[in-house]
Amino acid sequence: MQKSLHIDPGKCTGCLQCELACSFENENVFNPAKSRIKVFRFHDIGRMVPYTCTQCDEAWCMKACPVEAITTDAATGAKVVSDALCVGCKVCTIACPFGTVNYNASTGKVMKCDLCGGDPECAKACPTQAITYVDANWTGLDRMRDWAAKTDSGARASA
Amino acid sequence: MQHVIVGAGPAGVVAAETLRKGDPKAKITLIGGEPEPPYSRMAIPYLLDGNIAEEGTYLRKGAKHYDALGIQYVHGRAESVAPAEGKLKLEGGDQVPFDRLLVATGARPIQPRVPGIDRPGIHGCWTLADAREIAKLSKSGSNIVLVGAGFIGCIIMEALASRGGNLTVVEMEDRMLARMMDATGGAMMRRWCENKKIRVLTGRKVVGVEADAKGPGDKAVALDNGEKLNAHLVVLAVGVRSNVEFLKGSGVKIDHGIVVNDQMQSSVANIYAAGDVAEGPDFSTGGHMVHAIQPTAVDHGRIAALNMLGKTAHYKGSLIMNVLDTVGLISSSFGKWEGTKGGESSAAVDNDRYRYLRLEFDGDHLIGALGIGMTEHVGVLRGLIQTKTALGDWKRKLLADPHRVMEAYVARSQV
């Protein structure tokens, strides 16, 4: 069974360990600005929300890529950017309605969560289990999937 | 069932793949008008930059991709269509029979009608063949005149400038990127380009291209104010026109492009259209528009193919959106960025840092946006617009500070 990141905002303390782990794993720097997971803080309601790509089935980023630089990792289901093929056109960054593909000006490529090849550093770094890596069926990504369905610009075919 | 697709850009290729997925037995013919394997015009600026080789522009990387899917990829150009007989005639006389035809012939650059426009060294920047010619002529120290500072003009500026040429841009409109930037954004883009040693002339028309015996380049671009710009190379990027001429006499209704319904079907039942040639449903207005952008081409291709397979799929309409990099300054635009009557807007301008964000609201939701210098989470602008997310209390916060748009999205969808 494929696994997914499960995010439980109620458990997040806003410590940003996930952002540091992500940027170090992927960009070799401890720099939250280069992290592919971001923690949004809503101080007025005391809520912290870690947020990253859900590897959605619709995969607008992958479909919009003009040069086949984003593909699905068969083992993890992650939508993965090939740096060798990405030309840096940024169309995926406007196509993704979740805003989880970002352009990295220092490399001239786009970057997004790739689940670290099946061993996500953010989940390992999280001290409160606000981020866990679990069987896909348990992740309760329904809310995001509902959102995804709303954004879908073309209705799905009825057979 | 025999499916024929004329045009091998993203819309055509996605349609062919979708047809194959839905019908393993159908005969699928994909007709391309250029000698190369199907490629992406969007990748051409990066080819000129030297970041990729020609293969890097190909839509699909496997050499046997189309063969493996049983998609017959052939070279040819459409000359006419006889829908009742189900025949597509190609230039040269070949007849291709079809049950269903998808027209995905895209567009081609407009040539300004001025004397001397057919001189050597004047090129569009549209095909791989154009790119090879531009690469030859844009060397260090060469004088380059780029005609048009719209989307394509701006996106190829970097490639032209980085090849070491002296670049002058001539734009007929009063600002750069007139179709996707307001006056504030256009002025910011201009200042950025001028700081990069690019000469930008707006509100100027080209009236002709003449021989120039004195200058280093062999020709001169004459402007409507009498100025003459010496040039080794002239690049034309003044807009494009849909490739629909071959449909004359077919009964297919044409406006700015082929008018299609929400199933991408034209006024003729067995003819569909997709991509830059199609005037399809527009999300923002509910009317019909040509949206010549990659995400729309891909959506069109997929929806057209599903309907060609007999699976009813309705399109909710495309959202016009663009992102581009103009010599390093990234800008984007979404939907009704110019706003709507009775709507509200908010903007944040930082001229020193070249940052600009403008949001447009209609009632409780976002309908359009412009951004300069923004590369983080830009996609949520699309998400918020296309899902018509009720902003609630966040509208007030966004009117005060548009930069909180990602927070607004997370708050309205996740909290």
Contacts of B42 in chain A (CB under 8 A): 66, 89, 91
For an interface test with A, give the residue of B41, B49, B289, B298 to mutate (most A CBs within 10 A).
Answer: B298
Taking each helix axis as running N to C, give the angle between helix B405-414 and helix A142-151, from 0 to 180 degrees, rounded to the nearest 10: 120
The pLDDT assigned to B162 comes to 85
> Cβ contact (<8 Å) for A66 and B321?
no
> In whole angstroms, how far apart are CA A144 and each of A70, A156, B220?
21, 17, 57
Q: Residue A157 — very low, low, confident or very high, per pLDDT cuts 50/70/90?
A: very low
Buried b (16+ CB within 10 A) or exposed e, B140-163: eebbbbbbbbbbbbbbbbbbbbbb
Q: What percent of chain A has pLDDT over 90?
A: 74
- Residue B92, both tokens: 């040269």
Nearest chain A residue (CA) to B262: A154
At the top level of CATH, which class does the domain A3-148 belong to? alpha beta
Running DSSP on this structure, what letter comes out for residue A96? -
Whether A158 has a pLDDT exceeding 50, the answer reads no
Instruction: Provide CB contacts within 8 A for B68, sequence distance 6+.
Output: B62
Closest Cβ opposite residue A99 in set B299, B328, B379: B379
Which residues of chain B fall below pLDDT 70?
A: none
Q: What span, in angstroms and rounded, lies between the C-alpha atoms of B396 and B204?
A: 42
Q: Residue A135 — very low, low, confident or very high, per pLDDT cuts 50/70/90?
A: confident
The pLDDT assigned to B139 comes to 85
Other C-beta atoms within 10 Å of B53: how many? 9
Q: List alpha helices for B320-392, DSSP H.
A: 379-386
CA B240 to chain centre: 9
Contacts of B380 in chain A (CB under 8 A): 97-99
| Residue B38 phi, psi (nearest 5) | -50, 130
- Residue B220, both tokens: 């001169």
Contacts of B317 in chain A (CB under 8 A): 153
Closest Cβ opposite residue A66 in set B40, B314, B406: B40
> Could you tell me the domains of chain B?
2-108+240-308 (3.50.50.60), 122-233 (3.50.50.60), 328-414 (3.30.390.30)
Q: What span, in angstroms and rounded, lies between the C-alpha atoms of B92 and B95?
A: 9
Query: Helix count (H) and strand count (E) of chain A?
Result: 5, 8
Q: Taking the domains of chain A in order of start, what are their residue ranges?
A: 3-148
Whether A149 has a pLDDT exceeding 80, the answer reads no
Nearest chain B residue (CA) to A41: B407
- Residue A128, both tokens: 């409160």
The pLDDT assigned to A147 comes to 55
Whether A159 has a pLDDT exceeding 50, the answer reads no
> Cβ contact (<8 Å) for A143 and B60?
no
Q: Is A106 exposed, middle or buried (0-12, 13-18, 19+ CB in 10 A)?
A: exposed
The pLDDT assigned to B369 comes to 98
Nearest chain A residue (CA) to B333: A94
> Cβ contact (<8 Å) for A42 and B283?
no
Q: With residue B4 as reference, give the H or E element that holds it.
A: strand B2-6
DSSP code per residue over B216-248: SSSEEEEETTS-EEEESEEEE-S-EEE--GGGT
> Cβ contact (<8 Å) for B294 and A66?
yes
pLDDT in tens, B215-245: 899 999 999 999 999 999 999 999 999 999 9
